[in-house]
Amino acid sequence: MIIGIISGILAGFIAAKLTDGEGKGCIVDLFLGLVGGCFGGWLFEQFGIAAYSWIGQIITAVVGASILLLLWNKLK
């Protein structure tokens, strides 16, 4: 559980840095990482890609969160 929370925060922070250049705060980064992980997992599944290691899961969450952030910024 703790590793999942830390992974979510890390993935959300990395995605925010890649898209906006700054983090959004611990809670928002955690939310972004968790939702991004779900979205990225679904997206990778559609392409037949699977992530089994911790690093693969971080990459999946970062990709998902980055796409969500880019879409969010376009809608603003």
pLDDT digits (tens, 9 = 90+) for 22-70: 767 778 778 888 888 888 889 998 999 887 888 888 888 899 989 988 8
Dump pLDDT digits (tens) for 7-29: 888 888 888 888 877 767 778 77
Tokens of 67: 């796409």
Angle at 6 between CA 54 and CA 51, to 5 degrees: 20
Task: Note the pTM of the prediction, 2 decimals.
Answer: 0.84
Specify the pLDDT at position 63: 92
Specify the pLDDT at position 1: 67
